[in-house]
Every structure is written in structure tokens, then in C-alpha cells.
């Protein structure tokens, strides 16, 4: 088992989770507006939704790769292209992070959990991202592909859960920084671009 590869996966996941995006901004807004319990309800929903995508990728990609080894090379190319596309989208987007969107009504913890879960499950970009991201970090020559994909999925969920929970419990401070410091927002934008470019290169050169 390649432990260094797993550590690299966790570092990449943590960097992606902390980079501004629809999910963590939504978590931040709910936490600032209604409180930490509401923010954590959304977090649990989002992370639970990742299990569906992990299952889809684990069984779907495993069977395809086992039946056609050359497909792994094609996935590497597609993964590299998708990461470059994400970097380009971030480059074209505004550096200003809007945390002033206020929900119109308060919702129960169960409703917020459901909303986070549905937001994640119905988003095809999550499965596409997993398909592009996970194959480059297959870490064992002996373990089954399904087991490896689930291991990566749970590492992704655990790391994202910890980062999102941090945003919830320090939502007031994070929100204040984002509102008052435009330089920090620009740094986050370019950090996100750098991460996507770095992952694209890593996917391309990994054997």
C-alpha cells in the first residue's frame, strides 16, 4: 500500500474543501445566519450525499477498469482535462465571495440535512469530479478496486467533514475575514487555481 499517495490525497482533498465553493459557502451562510447546529445539519447532509457518489464511482469504474485496462489511461486524460477546466472556471470567476445571501426562512435541522443531501446527490459534477480525481490515487496493487475507491471516498468524506465543521464553529470569524479582506479572497482564488493545476499535473504523470 502506498501510504504517501494516501497522504497526498488527503492534502489535496483538504485544500479543495477549504477553497470557496457552493457547498462550503452555503454551510457558512447557514451557520452565520441561524447558528452552528443548522450549519452542522447541512454538513452531515452534504457528506452523506458523497457516499452515494462514492458507491457509483466504486462499482461503475471498478468494473470498467477491470474489463479494459486501457480505460485507465483515458480516465487520466479526462481527469487532467477536467481539472484544467475547473482551474479555468475559477480563473474566469470573480474574486469576491458573497456571504451576504440571507435565506428567506428558517428550516428544521432535518430539512437542512435533506437539503444538503439532495444538493450533493443531484449534482452530477460531484460524480464527474470523483471519476476524474480518484483513479490517480489508487494506492495498492493487491487490494480490490472497489475497496480502494471506498477507502478514498471515506478519506474524502472525513477530511471534508473536518474542514466544513471548522467553518461552522468559526463561521463568524471566517465570515468577517471574507467580508473585510479582499486580498485574502484573491489569495484563495489563486490558491484554488494552483491546486487544480497541481492535481492535473499529478494525474497526468502518475503511473
Q: Which residues contact 38 (CB under 8 A, 6 or more apart)?
A: 30, 31, 106, 107, 109, 112
d(CA 65, CA 73): 10
pLDDT digits (tens, 9 = 90+) for 22-75: 788 888 888 887 888 988 999 999 999 999 989 988 887 766 766 666 766 777
pLDDT digits (tens, 9 = 90+) for 146-167: 899 999 999 999 999 999 999 8
pLDDT for position 163: 93
Please, are residues 44 and 171 in contact by the beta-carbon 8 Å criterion?
A: no
Q: Is 54 exposed, middle or buried (0-12, 13-18, 19+ CB in 10 A)?
A: buried
Tell me if the pTM is above 0.85: no
Task: Provide the 3-class DSSP secondary structure of residue 52.
Answer: helix
Q: Is 160 exposed, middle or buried (0-12, 13-18, 19+ CB in 10 A)?
A: buried
Torsion of CA 5, 10, 15, 21, to 10 degrees: 120
Amino acid at each position: 500500500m502506498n501510504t504517501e499517495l494516501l497522504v497526498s490525497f488527503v492534502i489535496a482533498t483538504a485544500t479543495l474543501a477549504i477553497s470557496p465553493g457552493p457547498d462550503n459557502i452555503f454551510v457558512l451562510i447557514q451557520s452565520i445566519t441561524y447558528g452552528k447546529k443548522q450549519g452542522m445539519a447541512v454538513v452531515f447532509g452534504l457528506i452523506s450525499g458523497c457516499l452515494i457518489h462514492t458507491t457509483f464511482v466504486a462499482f461503475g469504474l471498478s468494473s470498467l477498469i477491470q474489463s479494459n485496462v486501457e480505460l485507465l489511461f483515458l480516465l487520466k486524460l479526462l481527469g487532467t482535462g477536467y481539472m484544467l477546466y475547473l482551474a479555468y472556471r475559477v480563473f474566469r470567476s470573480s474574486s469576491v465571495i458573497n456571504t451576504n445571501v440571507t435565506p428567506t426562512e428558517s428550516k428544521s435541522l432535518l430539512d437542512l440535512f435533506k437539503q444538503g443531501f439532495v444538493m450533493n446527490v443531484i449534482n452530477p459534477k460531484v460524480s464527474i469530479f470523483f471519476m476524474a480525481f480518484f483513479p490517480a490515487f489508487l494506492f495498492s496493487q493487491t487490494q480490490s478496486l472497489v475497496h480502494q475507491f471506498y477507502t478514498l471516498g471515506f478519506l474524502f468524506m472525513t477530511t471534508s467533514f473536518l474542514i466544513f465543521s471548522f467553518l461552522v464553529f468559526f463561521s463568524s470569524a471566517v465570515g468577517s475575514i471574507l467580508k473585510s479582506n479582499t486580498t485574502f479572497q484573491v489569495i484563495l482564488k489563486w490558491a484554488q487555481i494552483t491546486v487544480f493545476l497541481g492535481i492535473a499535473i499529478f494525474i497526468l504523470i502518475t503511473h
